[in-house]
Amino acid sequence: MNAPDAVPPSASRLPAELRAELSALLGDRFTLSASVRTQHGKDESYHPSVPPDGVAFARSTEEVAAIVKACARHHVPVIPFGTGTSLEGHVAALRGGVTIDLSQMNRILAVHEGDLDVQIEAGVTRKQLNAHLRDLGLFFPIDPGADASLGGMAATRASGTNAVRYGTMRENVLGLTVVLSDGSVIRTGGRARKSAAGYDLTRVFVGSEGTLGVITEVTLRLYGIPQAISAAVTPFPTIEAAVNTVIETIQSGIPVARIELLDEVQLDAVNRYAKLDYAVQPTLFFEFHGTEAGVAEQVEMVKAIASGHGGGEFRWATQAEDRNKLWQARHNAYYAALALRPGAKGMATDVCVPISRLADCVSETKRDIEENGVLAPIVGHVGDGNFHLTCIFDPADRAETAKIEALNGRLVRRALAMGGTCTGEHGVGYGKIDFVEAEHGPAVEAMRRLKRAFDPDNIMNPGKILRI
Amino acid sequence: MNAPDAVPPSASRLPAELRAELSALLGDRFTLSASVRTQHGKDESYHPSVPPDGVAFARSTEEVAAIVKACARHHVPVIPFGTGTSLEGHVAALRGGVTIDLSQMNRILAVHEGDLDVQIEAGVTRKQLNAHLRDLGLFFPIDPGADASLGGMAATRASGTNAVRYGTMRENVLGLTVVLSDGSVIRTGGRARKSAAGYDLTRVFVGSEGTLGVITEVTLRLYGIPQAISAAVTPFPTIEAAVNTVIETIQSGIPVARIELLDEVQLDAVNRYAKLDYAVQPTLFFEFHGTEAGVAEQVEMVKAIASGHGGGEFRWATQAEDRNKLWQARHNAYYAALALRPGAKGMATDVCVPISRLADCVSETKRDIEENGVLAPIVGHVGDGNFHLTCIFDPADRAETAKIEALNGRLVRRALAMGGTCTGEHGVGYGKIDFVEAEHGPAVEAMRRLKRAFDPDNIMNPGKILRI
């Protein structure tokens, strides 16, 4: 769908001189293998693989710089690759070129406990980081579900379940090391908590999806593991009741750490997939962080709000093990949805609206799904006004595919009409490239100026975010 | 100091055709008056006035666009002006041109209570906004002390006393309307709490000090007025004891709303200026926000930490009136410092370091001040690792001026060596333009790319942030 401006992969398209240079630089860490190329042309979405012409496994910023410099000399595209867990075709090599796999750049460079920050290489994954931090009593909260690389999470401005309390990658990246399109290396930001010293280059690159440069190192804010953590699951009679509970909780300023919605279709899928026995109703998953007394107070306030909207019993998970099970069930929502129809694919799409419009947007979308007979469970980071559909379909079936595409288009237009955005967290890739124009209007031309300033030859992940 | 690349003001330098166009557009809201020009060439700092060649008072985004378009056609510089409360010569018309005064663009366009956001024109000041919001139970927390315009605060990436809890303008601007250097108008961001839809243009313009475009409207995050607010003042035996209390408080994750340091010199100045009787010792001013129980819990934790560092009694202000007095005393620190030596000027400079280095940075700076016999009270938003010196001096005295400049240079180099930034919140203007290079190295060239992309003719507040 959204048929990419693609060319067939062909290793021989890479200039022989470039192949020789990259082989000399990387040895067998530069490969033309078809299977490696195919794997690197594909993310976790329904978008088909568009393999690059070669894959380079980098081990340092200097190597990335050398690779980009070589590619730039030959006007060959460069596509950064972390874990391949993106959802809008971000890693597809639409115009061929060399994919730079950063997964071997996985060193944790420096933890500054006293300053609550950490410097890492871009290939470190969030689970790896949190495993490293646990004994220090620290954690990094941003959790998009997948065990994504933190470089990739920065590049896509990821967020996820904890964003309602801790913000997104936008708020939690203090600085970056970036290889620019000419192979030069810059460091943006710094370790001070705030700075007014010049343009905010860090946030120019956060969310730029590899189209302005390759992120090779990241400095992140950390947080102390809260004294008390408690999680609960609560069913509601209707999806409106659940969403109105969310809206009232947010408007009351209660600092919930997570507040997730699963509609009854998604809940049923999760039950089947994980062999759980939650009531098959629209359901909220909550998590509370704070001191013992603070968590108790938050819980009382939220229980009162939920009960006012007809919410059922809170099923608690206070032990770490039980909480992990609960959140694993939530994180597996996508796979659980896929399992509803074996062999089918899922189109995971997300929008985000101002919280006051969330009930309208979710209800209208649910009606739209039902009226069109689509299988599309709803799940959302609703505290931010962000929700997802996983449309289950067979990409080989043209009529069904068209129906899904139309549903997605109506979802985005509905969100935009409500003052929202075409993607709260998945990013644009090439799957949502047309919607960026609809959302930003004349500002897209300003985005093009930015793109041209940093990538005048359009070799950095071309065909993503903007039509150039 | 840092002698600007300035030209003498002369209204006749404006092309006659441009003068005619602006007069036709604005009537007597376009003026060549010498006094108005002089006033608009100067901010609250020691930097001398560098008047523009004309001043245009705009009343709408369309008027700003028309002014910029006209100036662009004649290659005449444009300088945006809010309240003139900047501190590094941000509004000086270093290369002449037309200053656009936005103070008449002071309409509050829409308050969305349910979404906790507000859309305003750039000339609305923070006190005006908070007066408007009070009856709704909402407030906008960013408070740099001065009653600055919110457009100006966005343009300088302002922060202030509440930033330790609520973040800076970087975290609290949801979207902007910006007039670009060719007079085109874009809207950046939106009202959704998060978005991954394209480049973060909002944060390109936040902190850009008018060098990339003129901000004409701002959408801001709001917060509910906390159920309980409590403020207290506590003296410490040494500045190290006070700073170590701050470090331990932050490292413990206690969500204090404000935590401000005044050294004994500043405290003495505040006592004299506001006729108060605080003990003349290094002192912390605290504010706590939350539920009644939450505030009580925070207070107990902070008291225990302070007492461990030899902190004295907490003097409380729980009534709004008492708190206002307390914070007014803190906000008047600059004027109080100036009053220590009548007729002298103040150079207000600020740096920000990782919190673990704050005690070192403050102590070394204090020693430096004493060794050099300078009058320079220290005050700081220490929860962020940010502190200020107000160097009191006579700009006509060359030797004294040189001594102050050297002190400032050593302060910045000390902060940079500790992983900090040359300005946590005042911004660059032209006063700190040389330090940006020292701090960011090769990234400055990337900033120049950004500048050239948005302002190829260098007409937008030229001579600020970067040497072009």
A44-62: per-residue pLDDT in tens? 999 999 999 999 999 999 9
What's the whole-number mean pLDDT along residues A426-438? 96
pLDDT < 70 regions, chain B: 1-12
Looking at residue A12, its pLDDT comes to 65
Q: At what angle do helices A398-417 and A433-440 cross, to 10 degrees?
A: 20
Looking at residue A5, its pLDDT comes to 41
pLDDT tens digits, B21-44: 999 999 999 999 999 999 999 999
Q: Which of A191, A207, A250 sits opposite B196 (nearest CB)?
A: A207
Which one of A139, A171, A199, A214 would you mutate to disrupt binding with B, by most B Cβ within 10 Å of its Cβ? A199
Cβ distance B192 to A353 less than 8 Å, yes or no, reads yes
How many residues appear in chain B?
468
How far off is chain B from A202, nearest CA to CA, in Å?
A: 9
Positive or negative, the CA dihedral A274, A275, A281, A283 is negative
Helix, strand or coil for residue B299?
helix
What's the whole-number mean pLDDT along residues A398-423? 97
How far off is chain A from B56, nearest CA to CA, in Å?
A: 26
Q: Which of B163, B198, B443 sits opposite A201 (nearest CB)?
A: B443
Cβ distance B384 to A447 less than 8 Å, yes or no, reads no
Residue B236 has which token pair? 């410490």
Q: Which of A159, A193, A195 sits opposite B194 (nearest CB)?
A: A159
Chain B: residue whose CA lies nearest to A447 = B199
Residue with tokens 């108005």: B36
Cβ distance B421 to A192 less than 8 Å, yes or no, reads yes
pLDDT tens digits, A353-373: 999 999 999 999 999 999 999
DSSP β-bridge partners for residue B296 = none
Q: What is the dihedral of CA B354, B359, B360, B365, to 10 degrees?
A: 110
The amino acid occupying position A221 is: R
What distance in Å separates the CA atoms of residue B289 and residue B297, rounded to the nearest whole number? 11
Cβ distance A117 to B187 less than 8 Å, yes or no, reads no
Q: What residues of chain A lie within 8 A of the CB of B195, using their CB?
A: 157, 352, 421, 423-424
How far off is chain B from A35, nearest CA to CA, in Å?
A: 31
Residue B45 has which token pair? 């700092």
Cβ distance B446 to A192 less than 8 Å, yes or no, reads no
User: Which residues, in sequence order, are CB contacts of B465 under 8 Å at separation 6+?
Assistant: A198, A199, B208, B209, B211, B428, B429, B433, B436, B447, B451
Q: What residues of chain A lie within 8 A of the CB of B193, using their CB?
A: 352, 354-355, 384-386, 424
Residue A133 has which token pair? 């931090």
Q: What residue ranges define each of the domains in chain A, with the CATH number in brackets? A: 11-104 (3.30.43.10), 108-224 (3.30.465.10), 228-334 (3.30.70.2190), 341-437 (3.30.70.2740)
* Alpha-helical segments (H) within A111-197: 126-133, 150-155, 163-166, 169-172
Residue B186 has which token pair? 């874009």
What's the whole-number mean pLDDT along residues A414-425? 98
Q: What residues of chain B lie within 8 A of the CB of A157, using their CB?
A: 194-196, 200
How many residues appear in chain A?
468
pLDDT tens digits, A321-334: 989 989 999 989 99
Cβ distance B192 to A253 less than 8 Å, yes or no, reads no
Q: Which of A186, A203, A423 sits opposite B446 (nearest CB)?
A: A186
With CA atoms as reference, report the closest residue to B450 among B171, B174, B119, B203.
Answer: B203
**DSSP count for chain B of H helices, then E strands:** 17, 18
Task: Compute the mean pLDDT over every residue in chain A, rounded to the nearest whole number.
Answer: 95
Which one of A112, A193, A214, A247 would you mutate to disrupt binding with B, by most B Cβ within 10 Å of its Cβ? A193
Is residue B146 exposed (0-12), middle (13-18) or buried (19+ Cβ within 10 Å)?
buried
Tell me: pLDDT of A4 over 80. no
Cβ distance B204 to A203 less than 8 Å, yes or no, reads yes
Cβ distance B171 to A167 less than 8 Å, yes or no, reads yes
Q: What residues of chain A lie within 8 A of the CB of B196, using their CB?
A: 156-159, 207, 421, 423-428
Looking at residue B86, its pLDDT comes to 96
Chain A: residue whose CA lies nearest to B156 = A196
Give the count of Cβ contacts less than 8 A between chain A and B: 282
Which one of B171, B193, B302 would you mutate to disrupt binding with A, by most A Cβ within 10 Å of its Cβ? B193
Cβ distance A198 to B444 less than 8 Å, yes or no, reads yes
Looking at residue B4, its pLDDT comes to 44
Q: Which of A197, A207, A223 sits opposite B439 (nearest CB)?
A: A197
Q: Which of B196, B420, B444 sits opposite A156 (nearest CB)?
A: B196
Q: What residues of chain A lie within 8 A of the CB of B171, using their CB?
A: 167, 171
Cβ distance B436 to A159 less than 8 Å, yes or no, reads no
Question: What does B406-431 look like in DSSP terms, one character per residue?
Answer: HHHHHHHHHHHHTT-BS-SSS--TTT
Rg (CA), chain B: 22
What distance in Å separates the CA atoms of residue B410 and residue B413, rounded to the nearest whole number? 5
- Contact A417/A79 with Cβ under 8 angstroms? no
Residue B148 has which token pair? 């600055």
Cβ distance B466 to A421 less than 8 Å, yes or no, reads no
Cβ distance B424 to A196 less than 8 Å, yes or no, reads yes
How far off is chain B from A11, nearest CA to CA, in Å?
A: 31
Q: What backbone torsions phi and psi does residue A224 show, to the nearest 5 degrees?
A: -70, 140
Q: Which helix (H) or strand (E) holds B40?
A: helix B34-40
Q: Which of B157, B197, B452 sits opposite A428 (nearest CB)?
A: B197
Looking at residue B10, its pLDDT comes to 54
Chain B: residue whose CA lies nearest to A253 = B224
Cβ distance A352 to B385 less than 8 Å, yes or no, reads no
Cβ distance B188 to A443 less than 8 Å, yes or no, reads yes
CA distances from B164 to B87, B168, B287, B384 (A): 21, 8, 11, 6
Give ipTM to 2 decimals: 0.96
Cβ distance B435 to A197 less than 8 Å, yes or no, reads yes
Residue A436 has which token pair? 């960026």
pLDDT tens digits, A260-318: 999 999 999 999 999 999 999 999 999 999 999 999 999 999 999 999 999 999 999 88
- Contact B350/B386 with Cβ under 8 angstroms? yes
The amino acid occupying position B87 is: L
Positive or negative, the CA dihedral B113, B119, B125, B126 is positive
Chain A: residue whose CA lies nearest to B419 = A191
DSSP B215: E
Cβ distance A424 to B201 less than 8 Å, yes or no, reads no
Q: What residues of chain B lie within 8 A of the CB of A443, using their CB?
A: 186-188, 201
How far off is chain A from B252, nearest CA to CA, in Å?
A: 7
pLDDT tens digits, A188-234: 999 999 999 999 999 999 999 999 999 999 999 999 999 999 999 99
Q: What residues of chain B lie within 8 A of the CB of A421, using their CB?
A: 190, 192, 194-197
DSSP β-bridge partners for residue B188 = B176
Chain B: residue whose CA lies nearest to A434 = B197
Cβ distance B193 to A352 less than 8 Å, yes or no, reads yes
What distance in Å separates the CA atoms of residue A175 and residue A171, rounded to the nearest whole number? 11
Residue with tokens 């001070």: A192
